C-alpha cells in the first residue's frame, strides 16, 4: 500500500516509482511494479532512481536516489512533506495543489529572498536585522490571523487549517478559535 490522504483515499494514492537508466518506468515483474523489485538481482533490471507517482497517473519530474537496502529511506515517508524524497514531492507537487494549499511560487520566492536578506543583514548589521525581523514577525502574525479567519469564513475546517500549519486540528483550533480576526 502506498501513501493516502483522508480527502482522496486510493484515488490519489502515492508511491515511489522505479526509473531505469534511460528514464523510463520498467514493466511490472510478475504483475508487481514495486520499485524495490528492480534491484538487478535474478536477471531483473536495476533501477537507477525513483520518482514520486500517483494512482491517477501523475509523476514527478524530480528523481531521487535508490537504496534497495532501505525502503523507508528511499521513499521518505517518515521525513515528511518538506524533505527531498518521493513522498515529499508527491505531497508538495501533487496533493497540495489538489487541496488548494500550495503556496504560489512567486510568494515562495519572495519569502526565500527575505530569508536571504535577513541572513546577510544579521552578519553585517545585527541591530538592523533585529528590527527587520521584528517587522517580518508582526506582518506574519497579522497575516496568519487574517488567513485563518478567511479560511474559516470560507468553510475551511480546523483539520484543513491544522494541515496547512503543519499541526493538528486541535492545536490550530486552540491557537486561533478565540481570536478570529473580524476587522
pLDDT, tens only, 20-38:
999 999 988 888 888 989 9
Residue 147 CA neighbour count, 13 Å, CB half: 14
Task: Please indicate whether residue 117 or residue 70 has the higher confidence score (pLDDT).
Answer: 117
Mean pLDDT of 91-115: 86
Q: Given pLDDT bands bounded at 50, 70 and 90, which one contains residue 131?
A: very high
Inform me whether the pLDDT recorded for 113 exceeds 90. Answer: yes
Q: Given pLDDT bands bounded at 50, 70 and 90, which one contains residue 81?
A: low
Q: Across the chain, how many H-helices and E-strands are there? A: 7, 2
Give the gyration radius of the chain's Cα atoms. 21
Share of the chain above pLDDT 90, in %: 46
Mean pLDDT of 109-138: 95
- 126 with 136: CB under 8 angstroms? no
Amino acid at each position: 500500500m502506498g501513501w493516502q490522504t483522508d480527502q482522496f483515499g486510493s484515488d490519489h494514492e502515492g508511491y515511489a516509482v522505479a526509473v531505469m537508466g534511460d528514464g523510463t518506468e520498467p514493466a511490472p515483474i510478475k504483475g508487481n511494479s514495486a520499485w524495490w523489485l528492480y534491484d538487478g538481482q535474478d536477471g531483473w533490471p536495476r533501477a537507477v532512481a525513483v520518482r514520486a507517482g500517483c494512482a491517477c497517473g501523475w509523476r514527478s519530474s524530480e528523481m531521487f536516489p535508490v537504496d534497495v537496502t532501505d525502503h523507508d529511506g528511499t521513499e521518505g515517508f517518515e521525513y515528511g512533506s518538506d524533505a527531498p524524497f518521493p513522498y515529499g514531492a508527491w505531497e508538495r507537487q501533487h496533493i497540495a495543489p489538489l487541496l488548494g494549499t500550495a503556496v504560489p511560487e512567486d510568494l515562495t520566492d519572495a519569502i526565500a529572498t527575505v530569508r536571504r536578506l535577513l541572513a546577510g543583514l544579521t552578519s553585517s548589521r545585527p541591530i538592523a536585522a533585529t528590527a527587520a525581523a521584528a517587522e517580518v514577525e508582526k506582518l506574519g502574525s497579522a497575516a496568519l490571523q487574517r488567513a485563518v479567519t478567511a479560511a474559516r469564513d470560507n468553510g475551511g475546517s480546523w483539520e484543513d487549517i491544522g494541515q496547512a500549519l503543519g499541526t493538528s486540528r486541535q492545536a490550530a483550533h486552540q491557537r486561533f478559535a478565540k481570536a478570529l480576526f473580524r476587522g
